[in-house]
Chain A
Protein backbone atom coordinates (compact mmCIF):
# COMPACT_ATOMS: atom_id res chain seq x y z
CA UNK A 1 0.00 0.00 0.00
CA UNK A 2 1.46 3.38 -0.92
CA UNK A 3 0.47 7.01 -1.29
CA UNK A 4 0.55 8.18 -4.89
CA UNK A 5 -0.12 11.37 -6.76
CA UNK A 6 -3.45 11.43 -8.51
CA UNK A 7 -3.84 12.89 -12.01
CA UNK A 8 -5.70 15.95 -10.61
CA UNK A 9 -6.51 17.46 -7.23
CA UNK A 10 -9.99 16.33 -6.15
CA UNK A 11 -12.34 18.76 -4.45
CA UNK A 12 -13.80 18.41 -0.95
CA UNK A 13 -17.02 16.73 -2.11
CA UNK A 14 -15.08 14.11 -4.07
CA UNK A 15 -12.87 13.34 -1.09
CA UNK A 16 -15.95 12.71 1.04
CA UNK A 17 -17.61 10.46 -1.53
CA UNK A 18 -14.43 8.48 -2.19
CA UNK A 19 -13.87 8.01 1.54
CA UNK A 20 -17.48 6.86 1.91
CA UNK A 21 -16.77 4.14 -0.65
CA UNK A 22 -14.58 2.44 1.97
CA UNK A 23 -16.90 3.28 4.84
CA UNK A 24 -19.79 1.54 3.05
CA UNK A 25 -18.00 -1.80 3.24
CA UNK A 26 -17.72 -1.35 6.99
CA UNK A 27 -21.32 -0.32 7.57
CA UNK A 28 -22.54 -3.91 7.30
CA UNK A 29 -20.01 -5.06 9.89
CA UNK A 30 -21.01 -2.25 12.24
CA UNK A 31 -24.72 -3.08 12.04
CA UNK A 32 -23.89 -6.71 12.78
CA UNK A 33 -24.80 -8.51 9.60
CA UNK A 34 -22.80 -11.73 9.48
CA UNK A 35 -23.63 -12.75 5.92
CA UNK A 36 -20.48 -12.33 3.81
CA UNK A 37 -22.42 -10.99 0.84
CA UNK A 38 -23.74 -7.95 2.73
CA UNK A 39 -20.42 -6.07 2.76
CA UNK A 40 -19.99 -6.72 -0.93
CA UNK A 41 -23.56 -5.65 -1.68
CA UNK A 42 -23.22 -2.44 0.34
CA UNK A 43 -20.02 -1.54 -1.52
CA UNK A 44 -21.54 -2.54 -4.87
CA UNK A 45 -24.63 -0.38 -4.34
CA UNK A 46 -22.40 2.56 -3.47
CA UNK A 47 -20.24 1.81 -6.53
CA UNK A 48 -23.34 1.78 -8.78
CA UNK A 49 -24.58 5.04 -7.30
CA UNK A 50 -21.22 6.66 -8.07
CA UNK A 51 -20.39 5.03 -11.39
CA UNK A 52 -21.05 8.31 -13.22
CA UNK A 53 -19.19 10.32 -10.63
CA UNK A 54 -15.71 11.86 -11.05
CA UNK A 55 -12.65 9.73 -11.77
CA UNK A 56 -11.26 10.04 -8.22
CA UNK A 57 -14.55 8.84 -6.66
CA UNK A 58 -14.95 5.99 -9.16
CA UNK A 59 -11.34 4.90 -8.68
CA UNK A 60 -11.68 4.55 -4.92
CA UNK A 61 -15.14 2.94 -5.11
CA UNK A 62 -13.66 0.37 -7.52
CA UNK A 63 -10.67 -0.35 -5.28
CA UNK A 64 -13.04 -0.81 -2.30
CA UNK A 65 -15.30 -3.09 -4.38
CA UNK A 66 -12.44 -5.26 -5.64
CA UNK A 67 -11.01 -5.77 -2.17
CA UNK A 68 -14.47 -6.64 -0.85
CA UNK A 69 -15.00 -9.11 -3.68
CA UNK A 70 -11.92 -11.20 -2.87
CA UNK A 71 -12.83 -11.12 0.80
CA UNK A 72 -16.36 -12.19 -0.15
CA UNK A 73 -14.99 -15.30 -1.86
CA UNK A 74 -12.98 -16.54 1.12
CA UNK A 75 -15.74 -15.53 3.58
CA UNK A 76 -18.34 -17.43 1.58
CA UNK A 77 -16.33 -20.65 1.83
CA UNK A 78 -16.00 -20.08 5.60
CA UNK A 79 -19.71 -19.30 5.92
CA UNK A 80 -20.90 -22.49 4.21
CA UNK A 81 -18.28 -24.60 5.97
CA UNK A 82 -19.58 -23.22 9.29
CA UNK A 83 -23.19 -24.00 8.34
CA UNK A 84 -22.15 -27.57 7.47
CA UNK A 85 -20.36 -27.94 10.80
CA UNK A 86 -23.48 -26.70 12.59
CA UNK A 87 -26.13 -28.65 10.74
CA UNK A 88 -24.63 -31.66 8.95
CA UNK A 89 -23.90 -34.76 10.99
CA UNK A 90 -21.09 -35.87 8.69
CA UNK A 91 -19.16 -32.61 8.97
CA UNK A 92 -17.52 -31.76 12.27
CA UNK A 93 -15.12 -29.25 13.78
CA UNK A 94 -11.63 -30.18 12.66
CA UNK A 95 -8.11 -28.73 12.59
CA UNK A 96 -8.44 -27.60 8.93
CA UNK A 97 -11.78 -25.89 9.74
CA UNK A 98 -10.33 -23.94 12.68
CA UNK A 99 -7.24 -23.11 10.60
CA UNK A 100 -9.40 -21.81 7.74
CA UNK A 101 -11.55 -19.67 10.03
CA UNK A 102 -8.41 -18.29 11.71
CA UNK A 103 -6.92 -17.45 8.28
CA UNK A 104 -10.12 -15.77 7.13
CA UNK A 105 -10.29 -13.85 10.42
CA UNK A 106 -6.70 -12.60 9.92
CA UNK A 107 -7.52 -11.42 6.38
CA UNK A 108 -10.75 -9.77 7.54
CA UNK A 109 -9.03 -7.92 10.38
CA UNK A 110 -6.22 -6.87 8.02
CA UNK A 111 -8.76 -5.64 5.50
CA UNK A 112 -10.73 -3.83 8.20
CA UNK A 113 -7.65 -1.95 9.43
CA UNK A 114 -6.58 -1.09 5.87
CA UNK A 115 -10.09 0.05 4.95
CA UNK A 116 -10.37 2.37 7.95
CA UNK A 117 -6.85 3.71 7.32
CA UNK A 118 -7.56 4.30 3.63
CA UNK A 119 -10.93 5.93 4.35
CA UNK A 120 -9.25 8.40 6.71
CA UNK A 121 -6.37 9.12 4.33
CA UNK A 122 -8.70 9.51 1.34
CA UNK A 123 -10.83 11.96 3.31
CA UNK A 124 -7.66 13.98 3.95
CA UNK A 125 -6.99 14.12 0.23
CA UNK A 126 -4.28 11.48 0.01
CA UNK A 127 -4.51 8.96 -2.81
CA UNK A 128 -3.83 5.51 -1.37
CA UNK A 129 -3.21 2.71 -3.83
CA UNK A 130 -3.26 -0.82 -2.36
CA UNK A 131 -0.84 -3.52 -3.34
CA UNK A 132 -2.47 -5.64 -6.11
CA UNK A 133 -5.85 -3.86 -5.89
CA UNK A 134 -4.43 -0.47 -6.91
CA UNK A 135 -2.87 -1.61 -10.23
CA UNK A 136 -5.96 -3.77 -10.87
CA UNK A 137 -8.18 -0.71 -10.34
CA UNK A 138 -5.98 1.21 -12.80
CA UNK A 139 -6.70 -1.49 -15.39
CA UNK A 140 -10.47 -1.42 -14.85
CA UNK A 141 -11.14 2.24 -14.07
CA UNK A 142 -10.40 4.62 -16.93
CA UNK A 143 -10.40 8.39 -16.63
Chain B
Protein backbone atom coordinates (compact mmCIF):
# COMPACT_ATOMS: atom_id res chain seq x y z
CA UNK B 1 0.00 0.00 0.00
CA UNK B 2 2.82 2.36 1.00
CA UNK B 3 4.64 1.55 -2.24
CA UNK B 4 1.52 2.35 -4.29
CA UNK B 5 1.08 5.68 -2.51
CA UNK B 6 4.71 6.53 -3.12
CA UNK B 7 4.35 5.60 -6.81
CA UNK B 8 1.15 7.66 -7.08
CA UNK B 9 2.99 10.64 -5.63
CA UNK B 10 5.90 10.06 -7.97
CA UNK B 11 3.53 9.89 -10.96
CA UNK B 12 1.96 13.21 -9.95
CA UNK B 13 5.43 14.70 -9.51
CA UNK B 14 6.51 13.46 -12.95
CA UNK B 15 3.40 15.06 -14.48
CA UNK B 16 3.96 18.30 -12.57
CA UNK B 17 7.66 18.29 -13.47
CA UNK B 18 7.01 17.89 -17.20
CA UNK B 19 4.30 20.56 -17.02
CA UNK B 20 6.62 22.93 -15.15
CA UNK B 21 9.45 22.28 -17.59
CA UNK B 22 7.27 22.92 -20.62
CA UNK B 23 5.80 26.04 -18.95
CA UNK B 24 9.28 27.59 -19.02
CA UNK B 25 9.22 27.61 -22.83
CA UNK B 26 7.86 30.81 -24.36
CA UNK B 27 5.41 29.07 -26.68
CA UNK B 28 3.67 32.32 -27.57
CA UNK B 29 6.93 33.67 -28.99
CA UNK B 30 7.84 30.34 -30.54
CA UNK B 31 4.52 30.12 -32.39
CA UNK B 32 4.60 33.89 -33.07
CA UNK B 33 1.08 34.19 -31.62
CA UNK B 34 1.48 37.82 -30.48
CA UNK B 35 3.22 38.91 -33.68
CA UNK B 36 0.51 37.38 -35.88
CA UNK B 37 -2.25 38.86 -33.68
CA UNK B 38 -0.66 42.33 -33.81
CA UNK B 39 -0.40 42.19 -37.61
CA UNK B 40 -3.99 40.96 -37.85
CA UNK B 41 -5.16 43.75 -35.53
CA UNK B 42 -3.50 46.40 -37.67
CA UNK B 43 -5.10 45.09 -40.86
CA UNK B 44 -8.48 44.72 -39.22
CA UNK B 45 -8.29 48.23 -37.76
CA UNK B 46 -7.61 49.73 -41.18
CA UNK B 47 -10.40 47.75 -42.84
CA UNK B 48 -13.02 48.45 -40.19
CA UNK B 49 -12.14 52.11 -39.99
CA UNK B 50 -12.22 52.58 -43.78
CA UNK B 51 -15.84 51.45 -43.56
CA UNK B 52 -16.67 54.25 -41.10
CA UNK B 53 -14.36 57.14 -41.84
CA UNK B 54 -16.79 59.03 -44.11
CA UNK B 55 -18.83 60.07 -41.06
CA UNK B 56 -15.79 61.16 -39.05
CA UNK B 57 -15.26 64.74 -37.79
CA UNK B 58 -11.55 65.44 -37.36
CA UNK B 59 -11.73 69.14 -36.39
CA UNK B 60 -13.89 71.71 -34.57
CA UNK B 61 -14.32 72.65 -30.89
CA UNK B 62 -15.75 69.29 -29.82
CA UNK B 63 -12.88 67.38 -31.42
CA UNK B 64 -10.37 69.77 -29.81
CA UNK B 65 -12.01 69.21 -26.43
CA UNK B 66 -11.73 65.44 -26.84
CA UNK B 67 -8.16 65.72 -28.07
CA UNK B 68 -7.07 67.80 -25.06
CA UNK B 69 -8.63 65.31 -22.62
CA UNK B 70 -6.96 62.41 -24.40
CA UNK B 71 -3.63 64.25 -24.36
CA UNK B 72 -3.92 64.79 -20.61
CA UNK B 73 -4.58 61.08 -19.96
CA UNK B 74 -1.73 59.97 -22.22
CA UNK B 75 0.71 62.48 -20.75
CA UNK B 76 -0.13 61.51 -17.18
CA UNK B 77 0.35 57.82 -17.90
CA UNK B 78 3.29 57.83 -20.30
CA UNK B 79 1.12 56.48 -23.11
CA UNK B 80 1.99 57.15 -26.73
CA UNK B 81 -0.67 59.65 -27.86
CA UNK B 82 0.23 59.23 -31.54
CA UNK B 83 -0.63 55.54 -31.34
CA UNK B 84 -4.26 56.31 -30.50
CA UNK B 85 -6.33 57.32 -33.52
CA UNK B 86 -9.11 59.47 -32.12
CA UNK B 87 -12.28 59.87 -34.16
CA UNK B 88 -15.38 61.94 -33.43
CA UNK B 89 -18.60 60.96 -35.20
CA UNK B 90 -21.86 62.85 -35.59
CA UNK B 91 -24.45 60.70 -33.84
CA UNK B 92 -27.00 61.45 -31.12
CA UNK B 93 -26.32 58.10 -29.43
CA UNK B 94 -24.33 58.28 -26.18
CA UNK B 95 -21.57 55.93 -27.21
CA UNK B 96 -17.83 55.45 -27.43
CA UNK B 97 -15.87 52.37 -28.41
CA UNK B 98 -12.46 51.06 -29.28
CA UNK B 99 -11.70 49.41 -32.63
CA UNK B 100 -8.71 47.23 -33.51
CA UNK B 101 -5.31 48.94 -33.89
CA UNK B 102 -6.01 51.73 -31.36
CA UNK B 103 -8.84 53.45 -33.22
CA UNK B 104 -11.06 55.18 -30.68
CA UNK B 105 -14.48 56.42 -31.75
CA UNK B 106 -16.60 58.85 -29.72
CA UNK B 107 -20.10 59.97 -30.73
CA UNK B 108 -21.12 63.63 -30.42
CA UNK B 109 -24.07 62.44 -28.32
CA UNK B 110 -21.68 61.48 -25.55
CA UNK B 111 -19.93 64.87 -25.62
CA UNK B 112 -23.31 66.62 -25.32
CA UNK B 113 -24.38 64.38 -22.44
CA UNK B 114 -21.17 64.95 -20.43
CA UNK B 115 -21.20 67.93 -18.08
CA UNK B 116 -17.44 68.30 -17.79
CA UNK B 117 -14.16 67.26 -19.36
CA UNK B 118 -13.54 64.99 -16.37
CA UNK B 119 -16.67 63.02 -17.22
CA UNK B 120 -15.45 62.57 -20.79
CA UNK B 121 -12.01 61.64 -19.43
CA UNK B 122 -13.55 58.70 -17.55
CA UNK B 123 -15.06 57.28 -20.73
CA UNK B 124 -11.86 57.82 -22.74
CA UNK B 125 -9.76 56.23 -19.98
CA UNK B 126 -12.10 53.21 -20.00
CA UNK B 127 -11.73 52.80 -23.77
CA UNK B 128 -7.93 53.27 -23.61
CA UNK B 129 -7.88 50.54 -20.96
CA UNK B 130 -9.70 48.17 -23.36
CA UNK B 131 -7.04 48.94 -25.98
CA UNK B 132 -4.03 48.64 -23.69
CA UNK B 133 -5.31 45.43 -22.08
CA UNK B 134 -5.84 44.00 -25.59
CA UNK B 135 -9.52 43.37 -24.94
CA UNK B 136 -10.55 44.34 -28.47
CA UNK B 137 -8.81 41.44 -30.19
CA UNK B 138 -9.66 39.04 -27.36
CA UNK B 139 -13.35 39.81 -27.90
CA UNK B 140 -13.17 39.48 -31.68
CA UNK B 141 -11.22 36.24 -31.58
CA UNK B 142 -13.74 34.75 -29.13
CA UNK B 143 -16.88 35.96 -30.89
CA UNK B 144 -15.89 35.67 -34.54
CA UNK B 145 -12.99 33.25 -34.55
CA UNK B 146 -9.37 33.53 -35.58
CA UNK B 147 -9.79 31.87 -38.97
CA UNK B 148 -12.69 34.13 -40.03
CA UNK B 149 -10.77 37.23 -38.92
CA UNK B 150 -7.78 36.15 -40.98
CA UNK B 151 -10.07 35.46 -43.96
CA UNK B 152 -11.30 39.09 -43.79
CA UNK B 153 -7.77 40.39 -44.15
CA UNK B 154 -6.94 38.02 -47.00
CA UNK B 155 -10.09 39.10 -48.83
CA UNK B 156 -11.87 35.75 -48.63
CA UNK B 157 -14.70 37.06 -46.41
CA UNK B 158 -17.12 39.72 -47.57
CA UNK B 159 -18.34 43.01 -46.11
CA UNK B 160 -20.87 41.12 -44.02
CA UNK B 161 -18.15 40.01 -41.62
CA UNK B 162 -16.81 43.58 -41.35
CA UNK B 163 -20.35 44.65 -40.42
CA UNK B 164 -20.46 41.88 -37.83
CA UNK B 165 -17.13 43.05 -36.38
CA UNK B 166 -18.48 46.59 -36.17
CA UNK B 167 -21.72 45.42 -34.58
CA UNK B 168 -19.83 43.49 -31.91
CA UNK B 169 -17.52 46.39 -31.06
CA UNK B 170 -20.03 49.23 -31.22
CA UNK B 171 -23.08 47.79 -29.55
CA UNK B 172 -22.12 45.03 -27.17
CA UNK B 173 -20.12 45.02 -23.96
CA UNK B 174 -17.07 42.94 -23.20
CA UNK B 175 -17.13 40.06 -20.77
CA UNK B 176 -18.12 41.30 -17.29
CA UNK B 177 -14.67 40.71 -15.82
CA UNK B 178 -13.01 42.53 -18.72
CA UNK B 179 -15.34 45.51 -18.24
CA UNK B 180 -14.38 45.65 -14.57
CA UNK B 181 -10.67 45.38 -15.46
CA UNK B 182 -11.12 48.29 -17.90
CA UNK B 183 -12.94 50.38 -15.27
CA UNK B 184 -10.25 49.78 -12.66
CA UNK B 185 -7.48 50.51 -15.16
CA UNK B 186 -9.38 53.69 -16.13
CA UNK B 187 -9.36 54.78 -12.47
CA UNK B 188 -5.58 54.25 -12.41
CA UNK B 189 -5.20 56.34 -15.58
CA UNK B 190 -7.38 59.13 -14.17
CA UNK B 191 -5.49 59.20 -10.88
CA UNK B 192 -2.10 59.28 -12.63
CA UNK B 193 -3.30 62.12 -14.85
CA UNK B 194 -4.68 63.93 -11.77
CA UNK B 195 -8.20 63.90 -13.22
CA UNK B 196 -11.38 63.58 -11.19
CA UNK B 197 -12.29 59.92 -10.67
CA UNK B 198 -15.51 60.93 -8.93
CA UNK B 199 -16.71 62.67 -12.11
CA UNK B 200 -16.44 59.35 -13.95
CA UNK B 201 -18.49 57.60 -11.28
CA UNK B 202 -21.03 60.45 -11.25
CA UNK B 203 -21.38 60.25 -15.03
CA UNK B 204 -22.11 56.54 -14.86
CA UNK B 205 -24.55 57.04 -12.01
CA UNK B 206 -26.40 59.82 -13.84
CA UNK B 207 -26.60 57.87 -17.09
CA UNK B 208 -27.88 54.90 -15.13
CA UNK B 209 -30.76 57.03 -13.85
CA UNK B 210 -31.49 58.44 -17.34
CA UNK B 211 -31.33 55.10 -19.12
CA UNK B 212 -35.05 55.09 -19.94
CA UNK B 213 -34.89 58.38 -21.89
CA UNK B 214 -35.40 59.14 -25.59
CA UNK B 215 -31.71 59.22 -26.55
CA UNK B 216 -30.16 55.75 -26.78
CA UNK B 217 -27.51 55.45 -24.06
CA UNK B 218 -25.69 52.60 -25.77
CA UNK B 219 -22.48 53.01 -23.76
CA UNK B 220 -24.51 52.42 -20.61
CA UNK B 221 -27.22 49.97 -21.69
CA UNK B 222 -24.76 47.47 -23.16
CA UNK B 223 -22.44 47.54 -20.16
CA UNK B 224 -22.85 46.05 -16.67
CA UNK B 225 -25.06 47.93 -14.15
CA UNK B 226 -23.76 51.55 -14.11
CA UNK B 227 -24.54 52.08 -10.42
CA UNK B 228 -22.59 49.00 -9.45
CA UNK B 229 -19.72 50.21 -11.64
CA UNK B 230 -19.88 53.67 -10.05
CA UNK B 231 -19.58 52.04 -6.61
CA UNK B 232 -16.43 50.08 -7.31
CA UNK B 233 -14.92 52.99 -9.24
CA UNK B 234 -15.39 55.20 -6.18
CA UNK B 235 -14.01 52.45 -3.97
CA UNK B 236 -10.96 52.07 -6.21
CA UNK B 237 -10.54 55.85 -6.17
CA UNK B 238 -11.10 55.68 -2.39
CA UNK B 239 -13.90 58.23 -2.41
CA UNK B 240 -17.50 58.28 -1.27
CA UNK B 241 -20.54 59.50 -3.12
CA UNK B 242 -22.40 62.34 -1.43
A and B assemble together:
yes
Q: Assess whether A95 is in contact with B11, with CB atoms less than 8 Å apart.
A: no
Chain B residues closer than 8 Å to A94, beta-carbon distance: 28
Q: Is A8 an interface residue (CB 8 A)?
A: no
Pick from A92, A95, A107: contact of B138, CB below 8 A.
A92
A100 contacts partner chain B, Cβ-Cβ < 8 Å: yes
Residue A11 CB within 8 A of the other chain: no
A131, chain B: closest CB distance, angstroms: 7
Residues of B within 8 A of A (CB): 1, 3-4, 7-8, 10-11, 15, 18-19, 22-23, 25-28, 31, 33, 135, 138-139, 142, 174-175, 177-178, 181
Shortest C-beta distance, A93 to chain B (Å), equals 6
Measured between beta carbons, the chain B residues less than 8 angstroms from A76 are none
Is chain B's interface secondary structure helix, strand, loop, or mixed overall?
helix
* Contact call B4/A89, Cβ cutoff below 8 A: no
Please give the distance in Å from B144's CB to the nearest CB on chain A.
Answer: 12
Q: CA of A11 to CA of B139 in the docked complex: distance in angstroms? A: 61
Query: Can you name 30 A-B residue pairings with CB atoms under 8 Å?
Result: A74-B15, A88-B142, A89-B135, A89-B139, A89-B174, A89-B178, A90-B177, A90-B178, A93-B28, A94-B28, A95-B25, A95-B27, A98-B28, A99-B19, A99-B22, A99-B27, A102-B22, A103-B18, A103-B19, A106-B18, A107-B15, A131-B7, A132-B7, A132-B8, A132-B11, A135-B3, A135-B4, A135-B7, A136-B4, A136-B8
Contact residue range for chain A? Answer: 20 to 34
Q: Of the candidates B4, B10, B174, B175, which one forms a contact with A139 in the assembled complex, judged by CB atoms under 8 Å apart?
A: B4
Please report which residues of chain A, range 85-126, place their CB below 8 angstroms from some CB of chain B when the two chains form the complex: 86-90, 92-96, 98-100, 102-103, 106-107
Check A89/B1 contact, CB under 8 A, given A99-B27, A100-B19, A131-B7.
no
Separation of A100 and B22 alpha carbons in the complex (Å): 8
Known A-B contacts A89-B178, A90-B178; the reply to A95 vs B28 at CB < 8 A is yes
- Taken together as a complex, chains A and B put the C-alpha atoms of A135 and B4 apart, in Å, by 7
A132 and B4 within 8 A (CB): yes
Task: Verify if A70 is at the interface (C-beta below 8 Å from B).
Answer: yes
Complex Cα–Cα for A58 and B19 (A): 33
Additional pairs, 12, CB under 8 Å, beyond known A89-B138, A95-B28: A87-B142, A89-B142, A89-B175, A95-B23, A95-B26, A98-B31, A100-B22, A103-B18, A106-B18, A132-B7, A132-B11, A139-B4
In the complex, what distance in Å separates the CA atom of A98 from the CA atom of B11? 21
Interface centre among A86, A90, A94 (most CB of B within 10 A): A90
Expressed in whole angstroms, the Cα–Cα distance for A102 and B10 within the complex equals 19
By a CB distance below 8 angstroms, the chain B residues around A131 are 7
Measured CB to CB, the nearest residue on chain A to B146 is A93
In Å, the complex CA distance between A98 and B97 comes to 32
Q: Mark A69-87, 1 if CB is under 8 A from B, else 0.
A: 0100010000000000011
Contact B4 A99 (CB under 8 A): no
Q: Which residue of A lies closest to B27 (CB)?
A: A98
Closest to B176 in A: A90
**Are A99 and B25 neighbours in the complex by a CB distance under 8 Å?**
yes
CA distance A122 to B27 in the complex (A): 40
Chain A residues near B27 (CB-CB < 8 A): 95, 98-99
Bound CA–CA A87/B25 (angstroms)? 25
Q: How far is the CA of A98 from the CA of B27 in the complex (A)?
A: 7
For window 128-143 of A, CB contacts with B under 8 Å fall at 131-132, 135-136, 139
Q: Which residues of A contact B26 (CB under 8 A)?
A: 95
Q: How far is the CA of A84 from the CA of B142 in the complex (A)?
A: 10
